[in-house]
Structure 1
Amino acid sequence: MLTQLSIILFVLAALLILMACVKAQRVRSWRESLNPSAPEVPDAAFVTARIALIGTAAVCAVMGFRGLGIEDGSKWSDGELKSAVEQAAYELDGLLYRVDDSGEPVVHFHDYDTLIENEVVENGGGDAPQDGVAASAADGNTDADAYFTVSANGADAEFCVHIERVRSKKDDYTPPGLDADTWTQLGYRLAVTSREGAC
């Protein structure tokens, strides 16, 4: 929508500049052919008209470029999404995940899809939007092994993010004063990879 509006503004700016370039003598002759008895237009009126036309054309051009900037800033490009997904996978890889005896997370950090979406948005950088990212879960996902297809508003590319929860005994934690046999938080690490294409 903004792109079409920007194009209209650019066309209007070009027409206004063309109007400003018409010579005063030509305008006078057209006017005289249409209405021979009309009083002559002074040169100052043509100067004022040219300034107004060029000023309006400049405003149209500036608004057109702003519209394109807003449009670009509201959509993801394939390059922005690729970079953000790769960085998100890198930062999530090795993330510590502890569960209690029942298997529930000790510190809940969202579901995997929300975790991926937030991390991709955070790593968007540049003029990438701060929303519009979706991580769609593949069929058959479990807490231990899950695949997500990551897409974003405006981008044609899709990426597959694989999360595997790997047991890490060295990250087990027993609170001080308790026996390890009584209560221990089991440590896991997330192994995260990404590749281009849907899962």
Structure 2
Amino acid sequence: MTKLSVILFGLAALLILMACVKSDRVRSWRESLNPSASQVPDAAFLVARIALIGVAISCVVVGVQGLGGEDDSKWSDDELKSAVEQATYELDGYLYRVDESGDPVIFTNEYETLIESEVVENGGGDAPANGVVADPVDGNTDSEAYFRVSANGADAEFCIHIQRVRSKKDDYSPPGIAGGEGAYTELGHRLAVSSRPEAC
């Protein structure tokens, strides 16, 4: 999109230069090519100048909109930094329940999904609503994990560290299932989350 905008700005500059050419110079150039051609009236030059300037303005407007649209589709380093810091703050202490096998009770509550959605949510008004990637580091476990967080358009990369801490007070037994033989309990955990502005 940037290349197209640059082309449009160049075209606008060329059109404005054409509009600034004096009518006498155009007449003499035209006469050298075709001496028998009829004279072009001043009104025709005025209409041509207005048309050239109008098209030039249109090129500039479309070019600026293109640059704005590209900016809205990419993250900046500052946007990502702010979003990661806020996401870290909001995820620290997050209630995370698992079933008795250790799987998340809500499937979308996987760490990657939590991080990506929280960063996007805290991106601010100009940041895109997508493009964030939380890439897990090798050797992660359910109880401790590291993620490289990056975003489309941003050069910065952040490392988010998650520890899952058992919280018995947050255990939950759904009504009608609890009690008796084979009682089902969702095991409560809290996430301890930190981040730093570097690769993991």
**TM exceeding 0.5:** yes
**Conserved? CA contact 2:161–2:194, under 8 Å:** yes
User: Does residue 1:65 correspond to 2:27, yes or no?
Assistant: no
- Rounded to whole Å, the distance in 1 between the matches of 2:62 and 2:96 is 49
- Rounded to whole Å, the distance in 1 between the matches of 2:186 and 2:111 is 20
- Rounded to whole Å, the distance in 2 between the matches of 1:102 and 1:74 is 40
Please name the residue that 2:136 is paired with.
137
Distance 1:159 1:77, change over 3 A: same
Please name the residue that 1:190 is paired with.
191
Please name the residue that 1:77 is paired with.
76
- Rounded to whole Å, the distance in 1 between the matches of 2:145 and 2:114 is 13
**Conserved? CA contact 2:104–2:110, under 8 Å:** no
Q: Deviations over 1:107-142 (max 9, x none)?
A: 333321121111111221222222221111111101
Offset, 1:158? 0.3
Specify the SS of the correspondent of 2:103.
Answer: coil
Q: Over aligned residues, Cα RMSD in angstroms? A: 1.9
- Rounded to whole Å, the distance in 2 between the matches of 1:99 and 1:180 is 21
Q: How high is the sequence identity, in percent, across the aligned residues?
A: 73
- Rounded to whole Å, the distance in 2 between the matches of 1:115 and 1:81 is 16
Please tell me the residue identity of whatever aligns with 2:188: G
Specify the SS of the correspondent of 2:148.
Answer: strand
Specify the SS of the correspondent of 1:109.
Answer: helix
Offset, 1:153? 1.2
Which consecutive unaligned segments of at least 5 residues does structure 2 have? none
Please name the residue that 2:116 is paired with.
117
Please name the residue that 2:11 is paired with.
12
Please name the residue that 1:165 is paired with.
164
Which consecutive unaligned segments of at least 5 residues does structure 1 have? none
Please name the residue that 2:32 is paired with.
33
**Conserved? CA contact 1:174–1:180, under 8 Å:** no
Distance 1:31 1:184, change over 3 A: closer
Please name the residue that 1:24 is paired with.
23
Offset, 1:80? 1.1
Q: Deviations over 1:30-53 (max 9, x none)?
A: 222332222111011001100110
TM-score scaled to structure 1, two decimals? 0.91
Once the two structures are overlaid, the 10-residue window that deviates more, 142-151 or 92-101, is 92-101
Specify the SS of the correspondent of 2:43.
Answer: helix
- Rounded to whole Å, the distance in 2 between the matches of 1:4 and 1:172 is 56
Please name the residue that 2:152 is paired with.
153
Offset, 1:185? 3.1
Aligned residue pairs, count: 198
